[in-house]
């Protein structure tokens, strides 16, 4: 998993509430277990006509939002089924941070496990950042200082769980965390083989 320190880029405004995981990545794209290739299907029903033609009015189909690294949304983002493909699709598109007043719990946790920083802020501050996104002003999300900045705004502080923050800063997913304990695992396995030899006969 890539480390997350500071993200400086264009933010796409998505002023919608209750954006569920089926909207983020529809069910027909859940057949894969690969984490790549889903970006082209992100927000599929909102981005494309039945014919496959892009909907010109959807934010991610317009410049400069095609290169968005940040998504600014409204309440209850990521609700619905607990599909991990949702953060996979966001990440594969290039989005590494989602800013919203609230998130569904499972989606929120899945973001951290996949290198995406979800930032919870009061609605008033989200509205300020939404306006900056609509004005195509770059936004900087700094996990080290836990601040969000944009031209014309005072720095916005945000809270994040210290353990989850550390995992993002170091680029550690569940497997990475386990591998950090490699020497202890090796010691346990050697001792277990000695004390329980019948299990290895």
Helix (H) or strand (E) holding 107, with range, is: helix 105-113
Q: Are residues 198 and 114 in the same domain?
A: no
Q: Are 95 and 89 in contact (CB under 8 A)?
A: no
The pLDDT tens digits for 108-150 are 999 999 999 999 999 999 999 999 999 999 999 999 999 999 9
Q: Are residues 149 and 192 in the same domain?
A: no
Domain total of the chain: 2
Q: Copy the structure tokens of residue 134.
A: 């609509």
Determine the average pLDDT of the residues in 159-186: 82
3, 79, 123 from 9: Cα distances, Å = 16, 26, 21
Q: Copy the structure tokens of residue 116.
A: 């995406």
Strands 70-73 and 97-100, sheet pairing: parallel
Give the whole-angstrom CA distance, residue 37 versus residue 120. 28
Strands 139-142 and 156-157, sheet pairing: unpaired
With a cut of 80, say whether residue 187 has pLDDT above it: no
Determine the average pLDDT of the residues in 146-162: 97
201 occurs within a structural domain: yes
Range of the domain at 194: 173-201
Q: Copy the structure tokens of residue 51.
A: 């014919």
Q: Copy the structure tokens of residue 32.
A: 């894969």
Q: Are residues 101 and 23 in the same domain?
A: yes
pTM of the model: 0.89
78 occurs within a structural domain: yes
Give the whole-angstrom CA distance, residue 63 versus residue 22. 25
Residue 37 belongs to a domain with what CATH number? 3.20.19.10
Q: Are residues 72 and 29 in the same domain?
A: yes
With a cut of 80, say whether residue 181 has pLDDT above it: no
Q: Are residues 188 and 101 in the same domain?
A: no
Share of the chain above pLDDT 90, in %: 80
Q: Are residues 44 and 111 in the same domain?
A: yes
78, 99, 118, 122, 152 from 102: Cα distances, Å = 9, 9, 9, 9, 25
Q: Sorting pLDDT into bands at 50, 70 and 90, what band is 178?
A: low
Within a 13 Å sphere around the CA of 60, how many CA atoms are in the beta-carbon half? Answer: 22
Q: Are 106 and 79 in contact (CB under 8 A)?
A: no
């Amino acid at each position: 998993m890539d480390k997350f320190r500071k993200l400086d880029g264009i933010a796409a405004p998505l002023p919608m509430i209750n954006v569920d995981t089926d909207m983020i990545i529809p069910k027909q794209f859940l057949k894969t277990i690969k984490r790549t290739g889903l970006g082209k299907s992100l927000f599929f029903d909102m981005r494309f006509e039945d014919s496959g033609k892009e909907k010109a009015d959807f934010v991610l189909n317009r410049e400069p939002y095609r290169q968005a690294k940040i998504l600014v949304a409204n309440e209850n983002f990521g609700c619905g089924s607990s599909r991990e493909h949702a953060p996979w699709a966001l990440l594969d598109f290039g989005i590494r941070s989602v800013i919203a007043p609230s998130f569904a719990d499972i989606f929120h946790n899945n973001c951290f496990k996949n290198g995406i920083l979800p930032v919870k802020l009061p609605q008033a501050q989200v509205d300020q950042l939404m306006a900056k996104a609509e004005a195509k002003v770059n936004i900087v999300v700094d996990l080290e200082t836990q601040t969000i900045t944009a031209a014309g705004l005072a720095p916005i502080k945000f809270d994040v769980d210290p353990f989850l923050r550390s995992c993002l800063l170091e680029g550690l997913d569940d497997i990475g965390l386990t591998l950090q304990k490699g020497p202890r695992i090796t010691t346990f396995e050697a001792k277990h083989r000695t004390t329980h030899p019948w299990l290895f006969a």
